[in-house]
Amino acid sequence: MSAVLLRRAVSSTRGATRGCEIVLRNVRTLNVDHGAPVQGIPPPLQGIKILDLTRVLAGPTSTMLLADLGADVIKVEEVSRGDDTRSWNPPSAPLLADAPEQASHLPPESAYFLAVNRNKRSITVNFKQPEGLAIIHKLVKESDILVENFISGKLAESGLGWEDCRKINPRLIYASITGYGQTGPFSKAAGYDVIVEAEAGLMHITGEPDGPPCKVGVAATDIATGLYAHGAIMAALLSRQRTGQGVWIDCNLFESQLAGLANIASNYLIAGQEGGRHGTAHPSIVPYQVFPCKDGFIMIGAGNDKQFKLFAEKILERPDLPSDPKFSNNKARVANRQALVSLITETLQKEGRDHWIEKLTGLGVPFGPINNIRQTFAHPQVAAREMVTEVEHPRAGKIKLVSPAVTYNGKRMPISKPPPYLSQHTTEVLTELGYSESEIAGLREKKII
């Protein structure tokens, strides 16, 4: 960690020394500011059982968030390969020499799969066969929630649609995650993050003004859909508590991305204003973009006249700029964007990134360095907030995972189970369902499980 970053983390315009003491005290003792021990809350979904028929990212994200809250998530996977992302490597975690013998035929655990499957149990079932379908029906009967991300209508062909499952369990919350929803002309189309990014406007507004459309660097539409599904399932649990009835949730990538257009969508609906690509810049605020330094990049967002005045005087050393009619208010700065951006760029390229971080720290002008992933995880806030958790995996040994993103009364929900290896819990779950050892062996021999 650079000294500059540490100074930035604990500095402010007033009370920097006291701020440093608070940060360091919290790192050492994990106490909240008033000194009371961190208690957290009991897992709010403890006792809730979730049948997880999802794979890849959107669905597994939603079920992982529910598992973090204490739900028993049983992930049902294809018998021989499992979740598609199990084969998305490299990179993957190294295998232990003494890894479980029953999993010796499996490939290494892919980093992608490990990212979104903590706190779950894995079983493998071929539910295209009657005996496999019977297993899933038993799980439906015992579950509170079923989450699936098959193409609309596909599970109904196998006897696992909403109408089929509600007959087995009228209290079941059935969450369908698709590309385009259960109705409409695209309802039977498969959903892929990058395709929906293109089709629902996100890619059109991402990239440099004079460059081609770009995809976002992570599958943001999938992740947003997983978050929407997670929230909808929590709402459905509250609804069931009042009505005693299950709910069919229709959540999809296309509508999630449309909702995620936020002010860009509103600009079009209210004023007919088409969106465009602005790189890292803001169409309505200047300066508000990434600027190159001598040895890297820095994001600066002087969003009002007061911040611009500070920036001009203390960083650019140009006290004349705030009174210049071309830059005296935001409207003028937007109109003269290129001239101001060129001036700022010329100044910032004279020194390295850490020089400008030090000068900007505590000034009151929003800024942030452009960190690569290594620098991101070296950020002092990551360590102070314990945003990385190390867990013991039965095949890979100690692995590091990003911690759950929310704390409750100062404490995160625990990662009680590492991401499972394929079929790790099949015998355990079937035993809970009442299957005998000989029945389980027979199912395994017939490749039902």
List active site positions: 222
Helix (H) / strand (E) containing 400: strand 397-402
Q: Crossing angle of helices 3-10/353-360, nearest 10°? A: 20
Phi/psi region, residue 187 (left: phi>0; alpha: psi -120 to 50; beta: rest), is: alpha
In single-letter form, the type of residue at position 274 comes to E
Contact of 313 with 347, CB cutoff 8 Å:
no
> Collapsing DSSP states into helix, strand and coil, what is residue 430?
helix
Angle in degrees, CA 112, 415, 63, rounded to 5: 60
DSSP one-letter string for 366-396: -EEE---HHHHHTSHHHHHTT-EEEEEETTT
CA pair distance 214, 283, nearest whole angstrom: 18
Phi/psi region, residue 212 (left: phi>0; alpha: psi -120 to 50; beta: rest), is: beta
CA distances to 142, 314, 346, 386, 444 from 139, rounded to whole Å, are: 5, 65, 64, 36, 18
Mark 21-48 as b/e (b = at least 16 C-beta within 10 Å). Answer: eebeebeeeeeeeeeeeeeeeebebeeb
Sign of the torsion formed by the C-alpha atoms of 286, 287, 292 and 294 = positive
> Collapsing DSSP states into helix, strand and coil, what is residue 76?
strand
Contact of 125 with 154, CB cutoff 8 Å:
no
Walk across the sheet containing 297-301 and list its strands. Answer: 288-292, 297-301, 367-369
How many C-beta atoms surround the C-beta of residue 334 within 10 A? 15
How many C-beta atoms surround the C-beta of residue 281 within 10 A? 17
Contact of 106 with 124, CB cutoff 8 Å:
no
